[in-house]
Chain A
Amino acid sequence: MIHLQNVVKKYKKGVVALNDINIDIEKGDFVFLVGSSGAGKSTLIKLLMKEINPDKGKIIFNDKDITEVSNRGIPEIRRSIGIVFQEFRLLENKTAYENVAFAMEIVGSTPKEIRRQVPNALGLVGLSDKADSFPSQLSGGEQQRVSIARAIVNRPTVLIADEPTGNLDPDTAWEIMGILKDISRRGTTVLMATHAKDIVDIMKKRVIALSKGRVIKDDRKGVYDYEF
């Protein structure tokens, strides 16, 4: 469902962020994207979100080459992708419920759909009882769960998580991994960029390792490579 073909991305001053990348991700895959800072993980995520365009190559998403899509088509692409960030990015003046509902309001859902879907999403991340809490009243793990609920409430086909456990202690990080695993099991493709070696090693999922803009490893049931 996601196919990167010979993708090249250079930044100004000639820095090559991604060089001849070929990746195929199928529906329902759970993929870890690993690599040191500057390896090209963020660039890859930005390409998938069509925040930036590649200099060469094709990015096929749901059978469509998104490099050919005009800017007007960006919202459509993003509506089939949910995204979770390391720093949660919740709106402080909205409750957990409102934060999740906001994602539905933006795409023009009806109040009826919102009333049905938001509790579902909050239930899935185990936060039904904290629906009326503001982010400041929630722990880091709970905030990240709200942000996951927000990412999946519009039922995307892909969930991208950019270092979702980066700000969390190990126990909380494992709770988050459990939720991501659940989501994957329901058929959503999950792509998680991470530095967390122990998580990658224990989960035994597919691992794509980037280094200096190239794919240096792509293993089914892989482990975090110790050499970088």
Chain B
Amino acid sequence: MTERVFMTMNFRTILYTLKQGLVGVWRNRMMSLASIGSVTSTLIILGIILVLVLNVNNLAVMLEQEFDEIEIFIAEDATKEQIENLNDKLENINGISEIRYKSKEEALKDMQEQWDDKAYLLEDLEENPFPDSLIIRIDNIEESEKIVKSVKNMEGIEDIKYFRDIIEKMVNISTLVRNGGLVIIGILVLISIFIISNTIKITVAARKKEINIMKYVGATNGFIRGPFIVEGILLGIIGSIVSIFIIEFSYKYLFEVASKQLYVFSNVYMIPYYNLFGDVVLIFMSIGIGIGIIGSVVSLRRFLKV
């Protein structure tokens, strides 16, 4: 009586807790199935959103690296002085890391290389249609607009090409998908918690008498709660495993199809599925187990008060 009674986490207790948790899952199989299904669908939708957002972000970063350039096409009739003026002006602007002159001959050669086996189409050209250009590499893509604005009215410029708009749009879409996705996932997580807590309530009801006796004999709350929390965790884990398999296999399939059909595109811009695996397992398992624990704690809160 003078010593406190601690929940003795010995081997027998752990074994008992695990066994009762499993019995709980098995005893009401239909509700367990519903719980697993709800966790699985929540995580699948999370997976789709995750894959989308990660890929769009990845694409945006890649494009940013690739297109952190502004290309200023020089007019055919520009004088040497005008070009020098332009160059001087650019050199005085902050945020420009490199200015490179690209002659029309180089431009043609680049295009021939890019077109590869269809380059013969360019051979028939009577004269080189490409203008000379200055290629500016900038530090921060956000600055491109400002730089463009400060030079666009100078003489000798035919046109200016830059990619800020596209990238900005992509980042916006990615943010939208992420925020919308978070709301949907939040709702689905709540639904999953609700379904799991109802499943566990059934087990609790089935063991009401047993629990009542346990309380009168002096079982600790931890000892009584243990099996139900194990039940919740099991439901969460099974749900995560199912969804991990579904997401991984679908993404792998998609990745392979994309690699075959548009190999240049996907290899460069899609995150390889094997890079995604570790994160997905970690995130899904944590969320699945979290839903399970919260679900069981919610269902036990009121009822353990005696």
Contacts and interface: CB of A to CB of B under 8 A. Distances in A.
Interface in A98-121: 102-103, 105-108, 110-111
B219 interface: yes
A76 B4 contact: yes
Contact of B216 (A49, A64, A76): A49
B130 interface: no
B217 A89 contact: no
A74 B16 CA distance: 22
A103 B218 CA distance: 9
B209 A89 contact: yes
A214 interface: no
Interface in A68-116: 71-80, 83, 89, 91, 102-103, 105-108, 110-111
Category for how many chain B residues contact A = 20 to 34
B223 A79 contact: no
B218 A75 contact: yes
A75 B219 CA distance: 6
A192 B134 CA distance: 101
A121 to B, nearest CB: 13
B5 A75 contact: yes
Contacts of B306: 51
Interface string A136-154: 0000000000000010001
Contacts, number: 61
Interface string B209-241: 110111111111101000000000000000000
Nearest to A85: B216
Contacts of A154: 217-218
A107 B219 contact: yes
A108 B12 CA distance: 8
A111 B10 CA distance: 13
A91 B213 contact: yes
Q: Which 6 A-B pairs have the closest CB atoms?
A: A78-B218, A79-B218, A108-B8, A106-B219, A75-B218, A76-B5
15 contacts: A62-B1, A76-B1, A76-B4, A77-B218, A78-B216, A78-B218, A105-B16, A106-B214, A106-B223, A107-B5, A107-B218, A108-B7, A108-B10, A108-B12, A154-B218
